[in-house]
Structure 1
């Protein structure tokens, strides 16, 4: 916004201090003069009238006025100078924290987000402003660093299938008698992975926004739907999926929350034991929140590794081979969707191996069924297989 130049805050405070001091001094002088007019007589008689030509009567008020006015003007002039100099120094001292904040803002505007104000002293308005600005800079720096890591990882991940495709085409061009069927199959697999990665990146970008349109959602129904959808994948990996829980009513985007649940269940199935693994999906209700929990068996995970699993392109184990290996964005998408719904995502390693994930979302306001609960529904892979037959 273009603004016309004006006086600085320091000059304004200096003039305000000096003006206030002048007004106070003028009022004091006026009070003294009123006191003199009230209690000092207009004329007085001297004790020895022979020494006075007018019979010993002197005009006291006129004499006082003649003496008082020049000295009062001198006092006011001194107060003016004192107010200007003192106000300038005092305003500079009071505005010193604001100068540091302004300098830090200018450095942040130029791209330096690592600088912090760290204003010393006890808490006041300037210290609270400086602390809030430092916290904002810390969040911005972390966000920018995360975006830079994400861009670098995304570029690397997208470059890999493109490089593989180029290599396959170069080999096929160099050897015209090469098996075209195998080449087409490998190109199809590489292209499928590139498409899945691109779709995951788009979903991750969309999941970070807060949609103004929200609907009533039951997490228990989403958990059952995700388990039913991923049943063939569980059968392929030899994993048993169990769902149980109560009605967990919340508000949000049904599509995004279903994607969240699906990603959690798929991640639990893929990163599991080679055989006879289990995945347990449950929902519950707390005082002001609803909870979705996904727990799976698997390899032993270190406490240092678990917090990094929600970062893009991070995997708990070595890169898996196959068409369902994933692109390393599953839990990153879950985290974004959870934050967009004002919730929290908690990850913890299981003592026997595997992972325990908890998504906690705000409970739907005024939900009459939140405290009633629902009969717990326990379903295993064998039960679903029997029902499908």
Structure 2
């Protein structure tokens, strides 16, 4: 915003200091003047100067004192204001650097805590969060571009092969194109769902996570049976407030991941819900390979897949847990990933409990 130029804060503070000092001196001199002219001063045996004597001796001296106070107020106020506003200059410089896109700079204001240092620390914390978010968005954009480009490149290659070889099997080509196109559609829908959850633009209503868990388990039971995985759901009523479609997607993603990223045969998936004071929890535990904590900590990042845990026929788009984390955040909750000692993964989602109706 363009603004008309005005006096600096340092100048304003200097004039304020000087004005206050001169005003205080003037009040003090006035009180001395009045005291010297009080008639009772004679009764106390003191010497009460006459009015002409006051005008001749007192007023010039008072003028010199006021001039000295004014000069002292201006010089001292300027120095004090500059010293007090020095942190603001550093904060302003850091703000301008951040406006140019440089987010790595930090103010790192030294000294004991006061209002300006709290402001600087809050600004540094904000820069750190913004830098992390920008880096995450750049990684996400790069990964999304790569993931979207892959099916398009495969489709282009298949079409070129069909053009160069008119005798190729058309049915096989169509099947491969259909599979590649389906993957591109799944990825696009996942990106749209992730964006919708991040924007938090959805209606909220009372939801029971235990019912959503049963619904997701019923839907995915054929997949679990096909893979020889035992799927069970237990738990109490788990009320929360949010979007039923998004929360159903959250539960479905967790159960689907637990089935797909499991043992080849004979694995188990346990889905449990619970309600605690203030919080509702959904826990999905699955068997599988032993996972390093460093790997587990990255699984909720977009387009991250566990090394060696994804089978070629169900690789997915790498957004399942990222969508779960985003939906949980949008509902005021969080996601926790913990490797199981015996192998596999424990995923816990915690959401605020719905208030008691009525």
TM-score (normalised: structure 1): 0.88
State the 1:82 CA deviation.
0.9
Give, in angstroms, the shift of residue 317 of structure 1: 3.1
Offset from partner CA, 1:206-259 (integer Å, 9 cap, x none)? 111224631000000000000011111112211111000000001011111010
- CA shift at 1:367, angstroms? 5.2
Q: Matched residues in 2 for 1:313 and 1:60: separation?
A: 94
For 1:166, the equivalent position in structure 2 comes to 156
Residue 116 of structure 1 corresponds to: 106
Which residue pairs with 1:321 in the alignment?
312
- 1:139 maps to 129
Q: Hey, what's the Cα distance between the residues in 1 that align with 2:108 and 2:202?
A: 37
- The count of residues paired between Structure 1 and Structure 2 equals 353
**What does residue 119 of structure 2 align with?**
129
The whole-number CA distance in structure 1 between the counterparts of 2:158 and 2:338 is 41
Within a 5 Å distance, the mapping from 1:142-161 to structure 2 comes to 142-161=132-151
Mapping of 1:108-257 within 5 angstroms? 108-211=98-201, 213-257=203-247
8 Å Cα contact 2:241/2:354 also seen in 1 = yes
Q: What's the offset of the Cα at 1:65?
A: 2.4
Equivalent residue number for residue 13 of structure 2: 13
Counterparts of residues 17-56 of structure 1 (less than 5 Å): 17-38=17-38
> What runs of 5+ residues in structure 2 fail to find an aligned partner?
none
Q: Give SS of 1:309's match.
A: coil
Deviates more, 1:13-22 or 1:311-320: 311-320
1:78 to 57, 68, 72: 68
With the length of structure 2 as denominator, give the TM-score of the two structures.
Answer: 0.95
For 2:199, what is the secondary structure of its paired residue?
coil
Do the aligned partners of 1:309 and 1:316 also contact (CA within 8 Å) in 2?
A: yes
C-alpha distance in 1 between matches for 2:311 and 2:330 = 29
CA 1:212–1:198 in structure 2 vs 1: closer, same or farther (change >3 Å)?
A: closer
1:97 aligns with 2:119: no
SS at match of 2:57: helix
Q: How does 1:333-352 map to 2 (within 5 A)?
A: 333-352=323-342
Rg: which structure is higher? 1
Structure 1 residue 262, shift from structure 2 partner: 0.4
Structure 1, 284-293 or 205-214: larger mean CA deviation: 205-214
8 Å contact from structure 1 (residues 40, 61) kept in 2: no
Aligned to 1:330: 320
Question: Separation in 1 of the partners of 2:119 and 2:328?
Answer: 30
Candidates 74, 78, 84, aligned match of 1:88: 78
Contact 2:36-2:49 within 8 A present in 1 as well: no
Partner SS state of residue 280, structure 2: strand
Q: Distance in 2 between matches of 1:64 and 1:133?
A: 58
SS at match of 1:290: strand
Distance 2:302 2:174 in 1: 30
Report the CA distance shift for 1:359/1:367 in structure 2 as closer, same or farther (over 3 A): farther
The equivalent residue for 2:273 is 283
CA shift in 2, pair 1:236/1:325, >3 Å:
farther
Q: 1:260 aligns with which of 250, 256, 263?
A: 250
Shift of residue 40 of structure 1?
A: 5.7
CA shift at 1:101, angstroms?
A: 1.0
* 1:133 Cα deviation after fit: 0.9
